[in-house]
Amino acid sequence: MTERYDVVVVGAGPCGSRAALEAAERGCDVLVLEKGAEIGVPKQCAEGISHQGLEDAGIEPRDEWISQEIESFTIFAPNGEELHVIPPDGGYVLERKLFDKWLAAEAAKAGAEIRVNSPVIDVVKEEGRVKGVVVDTPSGPEVVEAEVVIAADGIESRVARAAGLAEPLDPDDMCTCAQYEMVGVDLEDEHSLYFFVDLEWFPGGYFWIFPKSGGRANVGLGIRGTESDPGRAKEILDRAIEEHPVISELVGEAKVLELNVGGVPVSGPIERTYDDGIMVVGDAARQVNPLTGGGLHSGMVCARIAGEVAAEAVEEGDASASVLKRYEKEWRKELKRYDFLKEVCETLRKMDNEALNRLAEALDDETLMAIVSGKGRKKALMRLAKELKSDPSSVSKFGSLLIKYVMKTGW
């Protein structure tokens, strides 16, 4: 007999588990299908999230999966100029292996079934409506039926593609990333996230050092797919650790514990994340901050909403697109600033190192403080924008963009 659940979630990453937890808590019969043999590995993440991010995702922080408290950002311009930013809200570097497992366990405690080693290879459609999924099992393909399928299967978006909701990513809309988890990292401030921007070293991306407990850190970079060559992400990682004037000082003597690789979608979300019987969440829906490449905060917020809407659909006995579109309406409100961030990102990557240095120079402490605190932000942004706009370097384009947005949004 064919198995049947109210909600089938594909993928037990943080978004899949968050959606499963929400739907199970609201009384649905939930099954989570994870392709891997173990939840939480391999890590494909720099593991940072703000306090606000966890709160928005509806998750109480717990010592068992917090690796490091974060209080500031340290950003290095190409010329080595250092910006220190203390946002009003701090954050954490997580231990994703423990966090992912904990979150899946929470979903299980709320009643969700979890199956590992269970890749989903297709969706089942009837008269255009998604009715379930096909799982690859040792005894062959098996169908599991569902009122609602939640696709949280990561960057490949296999399930969303099968449902006709996603196309392949443009290589220019993906960052290809390589990261080591290292030990013996010598940071001046182990409560700061370090960022290095340099369009020659890290084209279309950046390099990061995110400190963890016990002298460990995630040390990695992303570059655009269009700027990549076979193996280039890892090559630049190795070379930066050896030769980059600042990075080599900080991690040149550190030792490698892990190599993590992966792609990050920076296109902004797919056009439509729902259809009859299906919702798409997280990396699969490209719900990723297009400037930072961060997807934990945005993905889990969207997943929580998907879990909520799935439960409503089950309750109402109607999982048609007309009900599930509530999900899209809600998450678009949450991520509405992403259009702007994408434009910021595209403007920055078309500049050159000289312009980035100029930007870093213009961002004095007073201006930075006003921007991050919100106190006097509009005035500070306008002053900055006007200064940049009249600059002879390509940073003037960034000035124009800022003026446009400050006028439009009234910041």
Partner 1 sequence: MGMTVDETRCLGCAACAAICPEDALTLVRGTPEFSEDCTECSWCAKVCPVGAIKREG
Q: Are 372 and 335 in contact (CB under 8 A)?
A: no
Q: Is 325 in the site for partner 1 (CB under 8 A)?
A: no
Q: Does 228 bind partner 1 (CB under 8 A)?
A: yes
Residue 288 binds partner 1 (CB under 8 A):
no
Q: Are 92 and 48 in contact (CB under 8 A)?
A: yes
Q: Exactly one of 225, 269, 282, 294 binds partner 1 (CB under 8 A); which one?
A: 225
Stretch that binds partner 1, among 243-251, 256-264, 335-343, 390-398 (CB under 8 A): 256-264
Dihedral angle, C-alpha 7, 11, 15, 17, nearest 10 ° = 60
User: What are the helix (H) ranges across 29-178?
Assistant: 51-56, 96-109, 158-162
Residue 103 binds partner 1, judged by CB under 8 A? no
In 3D space, the residue among 218, 220, 214 whose CA is nearest the CA of residue 240 turns out to be 220
Stretch that binds partner 1, among 3-11, 124-132, 225-233, 272-280 (CB under 8 A): 225-233
Interatomic CA distance for residues 333 and 327, integer angstroms: 10
- How far apart are CB 42 and partner 1 at their closest, in Å? 7
Check: CB of residue 140 under 8 Å from CB of residue 4. Answer: no
Question: Of 225 and 299, which CB lies nearer to partner 1 in the complex structure?
Answer: 225
* Cβ nearer to partner 1, comparing 239 with 404: 239
In SS3 terms, 332-362 reads as HHHCCCHHHHHHHHHHHHCCCHHHHHHHHHH
CA 49 to chain centre: 9
Asked if 44 touches partner 1 (CB under 8 A), the answer is yes
Which C-beta is closer to partner 1: that of 177 or that of 217? 177
Which phi and psi (to 5°) does residue 111 adopt? Answer: 115, -5
Q: Is residue 298 close enough to count as binding partner 1 by CB under 8 A?
A: no
Q: Is the dihedral of CA 100, 105, 108, 110 positive or negative?
A: negative
Residue 265 in contact with partner 1, rule: CB under 8 A: yes
- Of 55 and 156, which has the nearer Cβ to partner 1? 156
Stretch binding partner 1 (CB under 8 A), from 12-20, 209-217, 229-237, 347-355: 229-237
Give the residue, chosen from 10, 32, 70, 233, that forms a contact with partner 1 under the rule CB under 8 A.
233
Note whether 352 and 397 are within 8 A (CB). no
Taking the complex as a whole, how short is the minimal distance between the CB of residue 292 and partner 1, in angstroms?
Answer: 18
Applying CB under 8 A, which part among 88-96, 164-172, 209-217, 308-316 lies near partner 1?
A: 164-172
Q: Which is closer to partner 1, CB of 167 or CB of 249?
A: 167
158 binds partner 1 (CB under 8 A): yes
- Is residue 211 involved in binding partner 1 (CB under 8 A)? no
141 makes contact with partner 1 (CB under 8 A): no
Residues 168-187 that bind partner 1 (CB under 8 A): 168-171, 174, 176-178
For the four alpha carbons of 13, 15, 18 and 19, in that order, the dihedral sign comes to: negative
Comparing CB distances to partner 1, the nearer of 91 and 269 is 269
CA 115 to chain centroid:
24
Using CB under 8 A, which of 230, 317, 392, 410 touches partner 1? 230
Query: Is the N-terminal amide bond of 42 cis, ω within 30° of 0?
Result: yes
Q: Say if CB 366 and CB 372 are below 8 A apart.
A: no
Among the residue ranges 69-77, 183-191, 231-239, 347-355, the one whose residues contact partner 1 (CB under 8 A): 231-239
- Interface with partner 1 includes 259 (CB under 8 A)? yes
The smaller minimum CB distance to partner 1, of residues 119 and 376, is found at: 119
Determine, following the binding rule CB under 8 A, whether residue 268 of this chain makes contact with partner 1.
Answer: no
Strands 91-94 and 66-70, by their bridges, are: antiparallel
Residue for token pair 């007999």: 1
Asked if 159 interacts with partner 1 (CB under 8 A), we say no
In the window 57-96, what residues touch partner 1 (CB under 8 A)? none
Nearest C-alpha neighbor of 11 from the set 285, 327, 371: 285
Cα of 329 vs its chain's centroid, Å: 20
Q: Name which of 27, 30, 29, 28 is nearest 12 in CA terms.
A: 30
What's the CA gap between 266 and 274, in Å, rounded? 20
Residues that bind partner 1 (CB under 8 A): 42, 44, 119, 154-158, 161, 168-171, 174, 176-178, 225, 228-234, 259, 261-263, 265
